Structure 1
Amino acid sequence: MDQLASLHAPHLMVLTGASRGLGLAMARQWLRSPGRLLIAVARHPEAALAGWAQQHGSACQSWALDLADAPAAAQRLSDWLATLSAGALASATLLNNAGVLSPLGPVGTSGAAELSNALRVGLEAPMLLTAAFLRGTEGWSARQTGGVKVLNISSGLGRRAMAGSAAYCAAKAGLDHFSRAVALEEAQRPHPARIVSLAPGVVDTDMQIQLRASDPTAFPDRLRFVQLKEAGLLDSAEVAASKVLAWLDRADFGVQPVADVREG
């Protein structure tokens, strides 16, 4: 509440997976503009974000949460949103970025705990956080101007199946269809929240390193990802972050609930 009070017409973003890769790049870029409050969710938060935010006239709270316990994470968000007044924020965004790539290989070789964790972090947590966010922002004045948004980071693998990554493909495909359904629900409301499940393109992150280092017998498409790297066709986390945030700012955000930054 103190951080909100110190900002003029603050803009809120709740961002999961904010401690590294694409998530950290989005956090830093979004905080460059003054009057913003970031709730940075990660198992091991990046401590430097608070100082970065302060330098740019914004603020950052870090929540150390394991999204494998999705109900607890959603309850934390719900409780915090309940402390805010309906007119406190000019805009509010939930950006579900966190995901898990379980060990690569046929689904029959994966352990039950690994598969469960991939779906809990990649699909259950975004669903529960979205539900808490939509419930918590009901009646907010920001809804009247289209300022309440949910952006889910999806993947091309949610739309094109790939052997050796069944759990990740399933989580992202589920995220896409979940977003379509929520968009239909919100369209029935007088002041709907806007939701998009967005594929960010091919980004050179730790996940790409894992794909390139995999056993080709377990992950038949390994060579494709090696070639993408060698050809310089991967976006850096910083470039990908700028594309995602630009999509978030589009006037037509939410018209198509499932999209890809490469579609223009």
Structure 2
Amino acid sequence: MPSSPHLTFITGASRGLGAALAAQRLHEGHQVIGISRRASPELAALAAARGARLVQWTLDLTEPEPAAHQLAEWLGMQDPQAFASATLINNAGAITLPGPLADTPLDEAARGLRVGLEAALLLCAAFLHATQAWPVPRKVLNISSGLGRRAMAGSAVYCAAKAGMDHFTRAVALEQAALPNGARLSSLAPGVIDTDMQIKLRDANPAAFPERERFMQLQRLGQLDSPATAATKVLAYLDRPDFGQAPVADVRDA
């Protein structure tokens, strides 16, 4: 591990794409802080085997403000010279039961927006404020979706969260570009990944979710990336020298 490790925060780090992102960064010697509702024994075992530093914060991002405060307080206690870079990856998301917005329980809709949009925005704000004087490269990678750019019936809450993520990333990228050591940001669609979200879409009631067959076909045709494959593509994009030049991007167009 390098004497000054890269520092990487990852939300939704206990499973799916988030766990794969965390695993790859641990293999590379990053200090990883995972933020999820539950800790991952697999990541803990990997970190121990690799001699990598992993901290897992068990936080529920349906209440994002305490998580943002914890991130800011932790960063405020660190020596900025101890790290080669600092990165926040907002990966956590929540999908409601596929179906019309009119039939979506209000608490589910609120949860989807809090996890998918409010938490990402607040954590981004806390990260940028706490590290604004750090003399190291800083990046924010927001994991978006093609559904933030193309509406789909039966997924209004998820579409809204990802569209909001794209647009706040555009705005904050403009703000940071005006600063002498501004952070670089991108809201990246990672492609179609074989995760729990895909299972939920394939299991949806076709009467409530008319695009169900399209997602079933993606699986039948083998067009879903594994989380590990998707993580490799996402991190390759994050590590590009021109990361941040496009505040809204798609890994498939890279």
Superposition TM-score tier, normalisation by shorter sequence: over 0.9
Q: Per-residue deviation at 1:7?
A: 6.1
1:13-40 CA distances to partner (integer Å, 9 max, x unpaired)? 0000001111111111111012x21001
8 Å contact from structure 2 (residues 132, 182) kept in 1: no
- Secondary structure (helix, strand or coil) at the match of 2:94 reads coil
Matched residue, 2:71: 77
Matched residue, 1:241: 231
Matched residue, 2:245: 255
**1:139 maps to 2:137:** no
What's the TM-score once normalised by structure 2's chain length?
0.98
Matches for 1:114-263 after TM superposition, within 5 Å: 114-142=108-136, 147-263=137-253
Residues 38 and 234 of structure 1, relative CA distance in 2, 3 Å threshold: same
Matches for 1:56-71 after TM superposition, within 5 Å: 56-71=50-65
- Secondary structure (helix, strand or coil) at the match of 1:174 reads helix
1:182-222 CA distances to partner (integer Å, 9 max, x unpaired)? 00000110111000000000001110010011011111100
Q: Per-residue deviation at 1:47?
A: 2.3
Matched residue, 1:3: none
**1:8 maps to 2:7:** no
| Separation (CA, whole Å) in 2 of partners of 1:98 and 1:32 | 21
What's the TM-score once normalised by structure 1's chain length?
0.94
Matched residue, 1:29: 24
| Separation (CA, whole Å) in 1 of partners of 2:81 and 2:88 | 17
Structure 2: unaligned runs, 5 residues or longer: none
Matched residue, 1:103: 97
**Percentage of identical aligned residues:** 56
Structure 2 counterpart of 1:110, one-letter code = T
| Separation (CA, whole Å) in 2 of partners of 1:49 and 1:86 | 25
Structure 1 counterpart of 2:58, one-letter code = A
Query: How large is the RMSD of aligned CA atoms in angstroms?
Result: 1.1
Moved segments of 4+, more than 2 Å: 54-57
Matched residue, 1:92: 86
Figure out how many residues of one structure are paired with residues of the other and give that number.
Answer: 254
8 Å contact from structure 1 (residues 50, 59) kept in 2: no
Structure 1 counterpart of 2:174, one-letter code = L
Q: Per-residue deviation at 1:55?
A: 2.2
Structure 2 counterpart of 1:55, one-letter code = A
Structure 2 counterpart of 1:11, one-letter code = H
Structure 1: unaligned runs, 5 residues or longer: 1-5
